[in-house]
Structure 1
């Protein structure tokens, strides 16, 4: 089976999203890009995450043409393709409808840097992408704009998207986005949240990129299994 490991990881991440409440039913989608072939494994359209197996995950090329798999790819494929096309650093995309991130998206509120972990993982203020119909290239273009220099974006009246060098990082970004959105909402209800200074945001982000976690050749592998199991 082509890209067997990557397809299995897409399945695993989808189940993690379901278990931790970042998606319900068949909402959201997950993809990963193979660095050698450029092929993309993406979750199938309209299937419950706890029923998807690795061979249900279709593989497409950079233009969205199906290379292998009997299932139709997610209807959000155009957005995933545009993100990969414009971000050479991105190897995985996770789209969720997580509650608090979606609340901010419906309000049209960006998520400012209020926590060190969020600044480190997400790269700074999380912007809101303009609204466009689900599954269209226009939504993909708005998403790419909002993601510039960031690891996550809010999708107006829709949900959220997180990216990473691999599925582990994209999943981590999705969890950090939702947990920070929850804190921000509570802080806004209680008063006026204090923001981190721009120089501190840059400092913690650079420190995260340089030193956090296990890297290839280090003391442990980078894998989806290595991510903490709850947001």
Structure 2
């Protein structure tokens, strides 16, 4: 999935990702939100407030700048716009953020277990993940703590809430989100079998070299 060169292209890809995220059960109804920007841009598009990710249209997106100002599109951005804004401000290399509510990632984390990377794909694409304690959605606390974790990780679990996955393009952000949830699902299954230790047998750096 090549990163688009126009804002319209960004929106088209985000619409496709939103539809897939709902179909795959990563989010329900109006939960979750998506954003993307053109490389080097100080503006980004983000899904609007109350929008269902499988029913998105171009009119459902707000254009915002990194100062938190609305500069185009829908007048009502997602209540989580700060989550996207603060992360873009600390990660110049990130051009897309997928925030969804994957059930197993949230459950495993809420039960106090680490999400274990068990496969080559988990190690290569997730690599590592950060987490935040619970903060209300849309709050400065949530946005700031998630951005702080994003300095070192491309996936961040938001306790009792969901996750954010970052990427240099939309496809990579969504791929990381899907692999984080797959790793959480595998971890849950391992726990039901009584296994608390199995992980991928090499470091992420070694996995990347062998990929």
Matched, 1:70 2:84: no
- 1: distance between equivalents of 2:55 and 2:120? 37
**Counterparts in 2 of 1:99-178, with a 5 A limit?**
99-124=103-128, 126-178=129-181
Cα separation, partners in 2 of 1:103 and 1:62, compared to 1, 3 Å: same
Cα separation, partners in 2 of 1:141 and 1:169, compared to 1, 3 Å: same
- 1: distance between equivalents of 2:154 and 2:210? 15
Cα separation, partners in 2 of 1:178 and 1:53, compared to 1, 3 Å: same
- 2: distance between equivalents of 1:148 and 1:107? 25
Q: Give SS of 1:113's match.
A: coil
Q: Give SS of 1:4's match.
A: helix
Per-residue deviation, 1:20 = 1.1
- Give yes or no for contact 2:91–2:150 (8 Å, CA) kept in 1: no
- 1: distance between equivalents of 2:138 and 2:109? 17
Instruction: Please provide the CA RMSD for this pair.
Output: 1.8
- Stretches of structure 2 that go unaligned for 5 or more consecutive residues are 1-5
Matched, 1:83 2:103: no
Name the residue aligned to 1:221.
none
**Counterparts in 2 of 1:199-214, with a 5 A limit?**
200-206=203-209
Name the residue aligned to 1:44.
48
- Give the TM-score normalised by structure 1: 0.82
- 2: distance between equivalents of 1:36 and 1:128? 27
Per-residue deviation, 1:114 = 2.4
**Which of 35, 54, 59 is equivalent to 2:58?**
54
Per-residue deviation, 1:50 = 3.0
Per-residue deviation, 1:87 = 1.1
Which sits farther off after the overlay, 183-192 or 145-154?
Answer: 145-154
Deviations along 1:16-63, one digit per CA (max 9) or x if unpaired, are 111111111000110002224321010111022233211321111111
Per-residue deviation, 1:205 = 3.3
- Give the TM-score normalised by structure 2: 0.89
Deviations along 1:60-94, one digit per CA (max 9) or x if unpaired, are 11112111113411111111111111111211100
Q: Give SS of 1:49's match.
A: coil
- 2: distance between equivalents of 1:43 and 1:67? 14
- Give yes or no for contact 2:132–2:159 (8 Å, CA) kept in 1: yes
Which structure has more strand as a fraction of its residues? 2
Q: Give SS of 2:54's match.
A: helix
Name the residue aligned to 1:23.
27
Q: How many residues align?
A: 205
Deviations along 1:111-143, one digit per CA (max 9) or x if unpaired, are 23322211100113x232122111012111221
Q: Give SS of 2:203's match.
A: helix
